[in-house]
Amino acid sequence: MIQGTASNVGKSILVAALCRIFKQDSLKVAPFKAQNMALNAFVTREGGEIGRAQAVQAEAAGIEASVDMNPVLIKPEADSRSQIIVQGRVAQSISAAEYYEYTPKLLKKIVSSLKRLRSSYDMVVIEGAGSPAEINLKPREIVNMRVAKIAQAPVLLVGDIDRGGVFASLVGTLELLDEDERGYIKGFILNKFRGDVKLIKPAIDFLEERTKKPVLGIVPYFRNITIAQEDSVFLDERAQRLPATDLDIAIVRLPRIANYDDFDPLEEDGSQVRYITKAAELGSPDLIILPGTKSTYADLKYLRQSGIAEGIIQKAKGGTAIVGICGGYQMLGKAIHDPDGVESETGSALGLGLLDAETTFTRQKSTTQVKAQVATNWEPFQETAGQELIGYEIHMGRTQNIGDRSAFHILETPEGKADYEDGTLNAQGTVWGTYIHGIFHNAGFRQGLLNWLRRRRGLPERWGGAGIEKEKEYDRLAELVRHSLDMKRIYQIVDQGITREI
């Protein structure tokens, strides 16, 4: 099990790396995270939702993702409530106080999922959440030491040395654990290190002497390996390293933004992708994207209050291309109706009015993988008309075209052949939306859209970009981490379990 001294210390990436390393070493391995709080979700083949990080880890392990890899997913909503996904399906929407009364029931589901994974795989690599030393949460936590004890899993504790205070964090975490819990910690990993390792050797010697536990590796800070990120803190980090490119794409960073990894591939083919939170930051982009959101009503209100909504409307009037994905698509229509109070008690709300379509929320949530086809040869899809696309849907509600044309046609889901329309394209071909997450991961479609934008500006087209080959990226990650960790000792820890110190 990989636990951390805090959130965003690199647990998810290290689990992905270890999954890849164990796969390379001919083990059948699966990831597991008992409880995940994330708005970046993935839809499995069986139509269940899990955290995006576990889907990435499964990819690294060379297996198909399943709901057992993340049996409890918490998706924060508006008004301090969260939607609880249990083994892939929506269970209920509750407050934080109610959730902690609910955890004993969830623990049974966690145990059943873990048992199924352990019966099917040689090894399960478990990821914790936040810190195991959150003493206010310990009595009811179901993701850190309680899971380690259930699984009888040795724990490697990860600290982020880049943020400072890592040695205090590691020692302090141990101090706040119960004595029996400290026995589960078999060693430390220092993550995100910059500089000469020799300079911190005295500190490492002190840490090992103080705790009687080994430092099992120091993983360098890296930015040249592209792996999908789950934590929205990543958006703060990437904002500081915008590349020099020919296209400018502005994505609205909604307060409850979901599945922002939809847009990672846009940077592969020569686009500058920046996330904005203020109307003044819009600038003069070639494309504005409204992303998915967990709470369409609340984030639509944010768009209006921030002035971004009016800014987008004015840009659209001037011919700027606008795209909406999922909740962003719903916002682009004329109106959103919520007769059952799924998201709001207001009943209906005006959208931005950039698409002649209306959305009605229903209690049933659509979660499915899809195979689709570009259904029109109207701008901006002349070169991609008829292309097949793959992606997935996660949404509440249905959107009906009134006067505009459909953009895509759904051909297939895991249940078999399908035949329904998706998305809307305005008459000018400048504004469109879709429910398909992952649409920009389809290289031909993505490059066709970006080249349409380039032609509008008189820029040369780009085709056949290198793109990101996921398998090579996972191999590069595994190579870096393998050479940074004492894998021989880690295998010894795995073999000996929690019975004694190594």
Structure tokens at 209: 């002497």
For residue 366, how many C-alpha atoms fall within 13 Å in the half-sphere facing its CB? 18
Q: What is the DSSP string of 164-213?
A: S-HHHHHHHHHHHS-HHHHTTEEEEEEEEE-S-GGGGHHHHHHHHHHHS-
Q: What is the DSSP string of 41-75?
A: EEE-TTS-EEEHHHHHHHHHHTS---GGGSSEEEE
- The greatest distance separating any two alpha carbons of the chain, rounded to the nearest whole angstrom, comes to 72
Cα(406)–Cα(374) distance, integer angstroms: 9
Cα(148)–Cα(150) distance, integer angstroms: 6
Q: Who's near 96: CB < 8 A, 6+ residues apart? A: 80, 82
Is residue 155 a contact partner of residue 494, using CB atoms and an 8 Å limit?
no
Structure tokens at 450: 């970006």
Structure tokens at 478: 């595994």
Cα(67)–Cα(48) distance, integer angstroms: 6
Cα(35)–Cα(70) distance, integer angstroms: 6
For residue 49, give Cα distances in angstroms to 84, 85, 236, 318: 10, 7, 25, 39
Cα(313)–Cα(423) distance, integer angstroms: 19
Structure tokens at 198: 């020799």
Q: What is the dihedral of CA 48, 64, 4, 98, to 10 degrees?
A: 10
Cα(204)–Cα(166) distance, integer angstroms: 11
Is 312 in a helix, a strand, or coil?
A: helix
Catalytic residues: 326, 437
